[in-house]
C-alpha cells in the first residue's frame, strides 16, 4: 500500500514535523504484529523512515529422542 499526502507546509516546517509524525504513526502501528515501513519524504528532500519487522514466532520442533 502506498499512501501519499501533499502538504502546504514550508520545507523547514515539514522537516520539523516529519520526525514527530513518524513517531506517532510508529507507536500506533507497532501494536500490530505485521511488518511495515513508513517513509516520509519532505519537499526539502529529507527522508525519514521507520521499519517494523515481522513479529512471527519461531517454529519450534520438539526433539525426538534417538534409541
pLDDT digits (tens, 9 = 90+) for 10-64: 999 999 999 999 999 999 998 888 888 899 999 888 999 988 886 554 445 555 5
Q: Is the CB of residue 52 less than 8 Å from the CB of residue 35?
A: yes
Predicted confidence at residue 13, as pLDDT, reads 94
Q: Domain residue spans in the chain?
A: 11-52
Q: Which residues contact 49 (CB under 8 A, 6 or more apart)?
A: 22, 37, 38, 39, 40
Cα angle value 24/2/20 (rounded, 5°): 20
Residue at grid coordinates 521499519: 51
Of residues 15 and 67, more confidently modeled: 15
Residue at grid coordinates 507497532: 30
Amino acid at each position: 500500500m502506498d499512501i501519499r499526502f501533499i502538504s502546504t507546509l514550508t520545507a523547514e516546517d515539514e522537516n520539523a514535523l516529519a520526525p514527530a509524525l513518524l513517531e506517532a504513526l510508529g507507536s500506533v502501528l507497532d501494536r500490530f504484529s505485521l511488518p511495515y515501513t513508513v517513509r516520509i519524504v519532505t519537499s526539502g528532500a529529507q527522508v525519514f523512515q521507520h521499519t517494523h519487522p515481522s513479529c512471527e514466532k519461531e517454529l519450534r520442533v520438539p526433539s525426538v529422542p534417538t534409541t
